[in-house]
């Protein structure tokens, strides 16, 4: 279904995110027929360039990062006709009048994507108003990192609030745009089967793993100041935890969903220092270590975190949520596993064996779900129990169409145009998340804590395995 006609300005339009994600994403939506014929996309950045130069850059970006969808040159030309460029000085006067002259009054949706560092948010917001580009209907999209800690996040929120209402601000966490992450809500709230068991009485614990094989790439400068805690846990992992732990919202509507997520964050206990393991990948063979990658030989930043968290409320009292994420691990594998308690009594005797049910939701790759069910081992050997998976894979279930599933950015940008904030973070949510992570990071700094080394291609430091082991539990394999 096509969205309404729009003018979308991408500040930072020549940057990495725009080239890798935003522009190819918009192109794929165009190919799917979702973009109306009078949509306009305007790149804005410091670089001096004309429309034709920008279109060449966009075409090259789509060829390189467009992925999956085949579009002939005619289609690409059609898309490029909707694309233009204005050189703009975010901190000065240059280019703003021209940008204003490109905006069309009759178009229902006007959106501004701040694909720039947070230090420019205030300048952009202010100039959008002083040059008359923004109205009460305009929307702005901002990227993470949304602040570095609670104080900076509050300052950013305050800066944006000077010029825009909360209903106009779309804070992106691209994990919320992932198909399988949204599926989490469908599984929980669309089935009668799981929800009655989704609590401390029946769930033994929950594991959330976001494992990556990539290192810090060319982003060492940013990453070394952030670490896994700020880069992944404060946003992506906390969002996953919220979706797993939250109460059913009354409706799938922005504030109903975000109110429930906020309650989860506020119910999180402070994490005890011995419930956290930090790691940093070490040199192995030809593979450089983290410190070489970030060009900081004394870095004490973590590229891995594992921890045990508690959501202190009626539903989850004493049910641990173990979460971990890291770079240069064994496999790229993101999974949420809900591990149910053992049956209270085995009528077959302990010798038959016991298996707890595990609902595993694979976020990426090989998206799908598996429910482990206990059955009788076939054969005449008496009653011996075994665990078998009831397996659903997106690719098998939906065939080639599954490959056409929109990437997180495509979906989220279309939601901005539709004016749907459900999958975007509200200001208070982001602040609550920082309020929980800040003391953890401050604790490390006060104690002069150093991360534990771990091998490239492993499952993280030994201590992370011990974190589970001490509780008589085991991480699920990263594979
Ligand atoms: C980003 C982080 O937000 O998410 C990166 O800054 C990380 O460090 C990336 O690699 C992971 O996203 P995805 O979609 O590849 O799982």
Å from CA of 178 to ligand 1 middle = 12
Strand partners, 11: 44, 114
Q: Is there a single domain that holds both residue 200 and residue 115?
A: no
CA pair distance 42, 54, nearest whole angstrom: 9
Å from CA of 144 to ligand 1 middle = 11
CA angle 240, 242, 244 (to 5 degrees): 70
Which DSSP helix (H) or strand (E) runs through 344?
A: none
Q: Which of 316-325, 386-395, 428-437 has the lowest mean pLDDT?
A: 386-395
- DSSP for 388-409 reads EEEEEEHHHHHGGGGGGSPPHH
Residue with tokens 């053992």: 342
Given a cut of 90, whether residue 74 has pLDDT beyond it is no
Given a cut of 60, whether residue 70 has pLDDT beyond it is no
Is 46 flagged in the annotation as binding? yes
Q: Is there a single domain that holds both residue 93 and residue 191?
A: no
Given a cut of 80, whether residue 403 has pLDDT beyond it is no
Q: What is residue 99's three-state secondary structure?
A: helix
Q: Which domain holds residue 34?
A: 6-143
> Is residue 150 in a domain?
no
Copy the structure tokens of residue 39: 């949509």
Q: Is there a single domain that holds both residue 129 and residue 196?
A: no
> Ligand 1: which atom is nearest the Cα of residue 332?
16
Q: Identify the band that residue 404 occupies on the pLDDT scale cut at 50, 70 and 90.
A: low
* Final residue in a domain of this structure, among 126, 143, 160: 143
Q: Is there a single domain that holds both residue 226 and residue 374?
A: yes
> Is residue 151 in a domain?
no
pLDDT value, residue 396? 84
Residue with tokens 């150093």: 450
**Does the model's pTM come out above 0.90?**
yes
Ligand 1 pocket test, pick from 20, 212, 331, 430 with the greatest ligand atom count within 8 Å of Cβ, gives 212
> Is residue 34 in a domain?
yes
Is 476 flagged in the annotation as binding? no
CA angle 257, 22, 239 (to 5 degrees): 25
The mean pLDDT of 311-321, rounded to a whole number, is 98
> Is residue 167 in a domain?
no
- DSSP for 190-259 reads H-TTTGGG-STTTEEEEEEEEE-S---TT-HHHHHHHHHIIIIIIIIIHHHHHHHHSPPPSSSSHHHHHH
Atom 9 of ligand 1, residue of closest alpha carbon: 232
Ligand 1 pocket test, pick from 232, 303, 433 with the greatest ligand atom count within 8 Å of Cβ, gives 232
> Is residue 478 in a domain?
no
* Final residue in a domain of this structure, among 96, 124, 143: 143
Given a cut of 70, whether residue 21 has pLDDT beyond it is yes
Given a cut of 60, whether residue 236 has pLDDT beyond it is yes
β-strand 368-376 against 6-11: which pairing, if any?
Answer: unpaired
> Is residue 318 in a domain?
yes
Task: From the candidates 163, 236, 275, 310, give the one annotated as an active-site residue.
Answer: 236
The 10s digit of each residue's pLDDT in 339-376 is: 999 999 989 998 898 889 999 999 988 889 999 999 99
Question: CB under 6 Å to ligand 1: residues?
Answer: 212, 231
Is 33 flagged in the annotation as binding? no
Q: Is there a single domain that holds both residue 108 and residue 232?
A: no
> Is residue 111 in a domain?
yes
Given a cut of 90, whether residue 79 has pLDDT beyond it is yes
CA pair distance 16, 123, nearest whole angstrom: 21
CA pair distance 389, 369, nearest whole angstrom: 9
Mean confidence (pLDDT) of the chain:
93
Burial tier of 126 (Cβ tally within 10 Å: 0-12, 13-18, 19+): middle
Any idea what the CATH number is for the domain that residue 111 is in? 3.40.50.720
The 10s digit of each residue's pLDDT in 82-99 is: 999 999 999 999 999 999
Q: Is there a single domain that holds both residue 139 and residue 225?
A: no
Given a cut of 70, whether residue 213 has pLDDT beyond it is yes
pLDDT value, residue 400? 66
Residue with tokens 């939701």: 361
Is 370 flagged in the annotation as binding? no
> Is residue 251 in a domain?
yes
Q: Is there a single domain that holds both residue 318 and residue 447?
A: yes
Strand partners, 111: 8, 139
Q: Is there a single domain that holds both residue 391 and residue 246?
A: yes
ipTM: 0.98
Å from CA of 186 to ligand 1 middle = 24
CB atoms < 10 A from the CB of 25, how many? 24
Q: In the Cβ-directed half-sphere of 87, how many Cα atoms lie within 13 Å?
A: 8
Q: Identify the band that residue 272 occupies on the pLDDT scale cut at 50, 70 and 90.
A: very high
Q: 236 an active-site residue?
A: yes
Å from CA of 303 to ligand 1 middle = 12
Residue with tokens 């949510």: 429
Copy the structure tokens of residue 34: 């979702």
Q: Is there a single domain that holds both residue 135 and residue 189?
A: no
pLDDT value, residue 196? 95
Å from CA of 86 to ligand 1 middle = 29
Ligand 1 pocket test, pick from 115, 217, 231 with the greatest ligand atom count within 8 Å of Cβ, gives 231
| Domains in the chain, number | 2
* Final residue in a domain of this structure, among 143, 161, 195: 143
pLDDT value, residue 175? 94
Bond from prior residue into 235 cis (ω within 30 degrees of 0): no
């Amino acid at each position: 279904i096509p969205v309404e006609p729009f003018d979308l300005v991408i500040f930072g339009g020549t940057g990495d995110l725009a080239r890798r994600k935003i522009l190819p994403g918009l192109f794929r939506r165009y190919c799917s027929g979702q973009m109306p014929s009078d949509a306009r996309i305007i790149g804005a950045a410091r670089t001096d360039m004309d429309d034709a130069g920008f279109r060449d850059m966009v075409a090259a970006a789509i060829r390189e990062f467009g992925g999956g969808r085949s579009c002939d040159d005619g289609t690409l030309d059609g898309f490029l006709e909707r694309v233009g460029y204005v050189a703009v000085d975010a901190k000065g006067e240059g280019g703003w009048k021209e940008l204003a002259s490109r905006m069309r009054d009759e178009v229902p949706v006007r959106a501004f994507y701040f694909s720039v560092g947070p230090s420019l948010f205030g300048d952009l917001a202010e100039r959008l108003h002083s040059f008359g580009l923004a109205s009460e209907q305009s929307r702005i999209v901002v990227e993470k990192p949304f602040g570095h800690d609670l104080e900076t996040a509050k300052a950013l929120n305050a800066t944006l609030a000077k010029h825009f209402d909360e209903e106009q601000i779309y804070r992106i966490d691209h994990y919320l745009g992932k198909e399988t992450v949204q599926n989490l809500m469908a599984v929980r709230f669309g089935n009668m089967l799981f929800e009655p068991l989704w609590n401390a009485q029946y769930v033994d614990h929950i594991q959330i793993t976001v494992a990556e094989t990539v290192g810090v790439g060319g982003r060492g400068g940013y990453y070394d100041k952030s670490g896994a805690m700020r880069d992944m846990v404060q946003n992506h992992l906390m969002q996953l935890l919220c979706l797993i732990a939250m109460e059913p919202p009354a409706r799938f509507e922005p504030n109903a969903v975000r109110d429930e997520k906020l309650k989860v964050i506020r119910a999180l206990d402070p994490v005890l220092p011995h419930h956290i393991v930090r790691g940093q990948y070490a040199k192995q063979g030809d593979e450089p270590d983290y410190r070489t990658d970030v060009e900081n030989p004394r870095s004490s930043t973590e590229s891995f975190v594992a921890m045990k968290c508690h959501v202190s409320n009626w539903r989850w009292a004493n049910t641990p949520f173990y979460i971990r994420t890291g770079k240069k691990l064994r496999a790229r594998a993101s999974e949420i596993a809900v591990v149910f308690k053992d049956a209270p009594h085995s009528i077959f005797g302990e010798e038959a064996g016991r298996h707890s049910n595990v609902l595993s939701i694979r976020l990426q790759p090989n998206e799908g779900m598996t429910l482990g069910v206990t059955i009788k081992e076939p054969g005449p050997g008496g009653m011996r129990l075994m665990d078998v998976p009831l397996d659903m894979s997106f690719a098998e279930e939906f065939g080639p169409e599954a490959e056409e599933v929109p990437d997180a950015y495509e979906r989220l940008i279309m939601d901005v145009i539709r004016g749907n904030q459900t999958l975007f973070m509200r200001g208070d949510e982001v602040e609550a998340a920082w309020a929980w992570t800040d003391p953890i990071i401050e604790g490390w700094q006060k104690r002069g804590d150093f991360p534990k080394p771990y091998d490239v291609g492993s499952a993280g430091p030994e201590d992370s395995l011990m974190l589970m082991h001490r509780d008589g539990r085991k991480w699920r394999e990263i594979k």
